[in-house]
């Protein structure tokens, strides 16, 4: 199998605080993980690509100082939303890429719903 977990599944925080979301590949190693954001009734938008042992690559328009990504091991990537504000409320989904040599597939976590009050 290829299981990806996220923690927490739900988080409510006050404006101005920071929130950390974890993404783990449970039964495989992933050198590359991705972070997406999904607004209600909309598609997934790629925020950044997380590479183990190196800096993340952010998509245009995503503030890297606000959305800190750390890919500390082959099974764990974290997304920290710093100084969160209500407009950061969203559904955050990670994925981990499994395989090599042209046979890679992304497997998605169950998502984390963030509500900033």
Q: How many residues bind another protein (CB under 8 A)?
A: 23
**93 near 79, Cβ under 8 Å?**
no
Q: Does 43 bind another protein (CB under 8 A)?
A: yes
Q: CA-to-CA distance for 108 and 80, rounded, in angstroms?
A: 18
Using CB under 8 A, pick the residue from 93, 96, 114, 116 that binds another protein. Answer: 93
Q: Does 84 bind another protein (CB under 8 A)?
A: no
- With tokens 């042992």, the residue in question is 53
Q: Does 37 bind another protein (CB under 8 A)?
A: no
* Nearest to another protein of 10, 65 (CB atom): 10
Query: Residue length, the chain?
Result: 117
- With tokens 């509500």, the residue in question is 115
According to DSSP, the β-strands at 90-98 and 76-81 are: unpaired
**22 near 6, Cβ under 8 Å?**
yes
Provide, rounded to whole angstroms, the least separation between the CB of residue 112 and another protein: 9
Provide, rounded to whole angstroms, the least separation between the CB of residue 83 and another protein: 26
Q: Does 83 bind another protein (CB under 8 A)?
A: no
Q: CA-to-CA distance for 111 and 62, rounded, in angstroms?
A: 19
Q: Which residues bind another protein (CB under 8 A)?
A: 4, 6, 34, 42-44, 46, 49, 93, 95, 97, 99, 102-111, 113
């Amino acid at each position: 199998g290829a299981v990806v977990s996220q923690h927490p599944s739900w988080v409510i925080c006050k404006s101005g605080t920071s929130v950390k979301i974890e993404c783990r590949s449970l039964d495989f190693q992933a050198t590359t993980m991705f972070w997406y954001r999904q607004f209600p009734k909309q598609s997934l938008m790629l925020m950044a690509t997380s590479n183990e042992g190196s800096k993340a690559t952010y998509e245009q328009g995503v503030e890297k100082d606000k959305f800190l990504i750390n890919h500390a091991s082959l099974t764990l990537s974290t997304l920290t939303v710093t100084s969160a504000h209500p407009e950061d409320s969203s559904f955050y989904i990670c994925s981990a890429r499994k395989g090599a040599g042209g046979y890679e597939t992304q497997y998605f976590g169950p998502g984390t719903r963030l509500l900033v009050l």
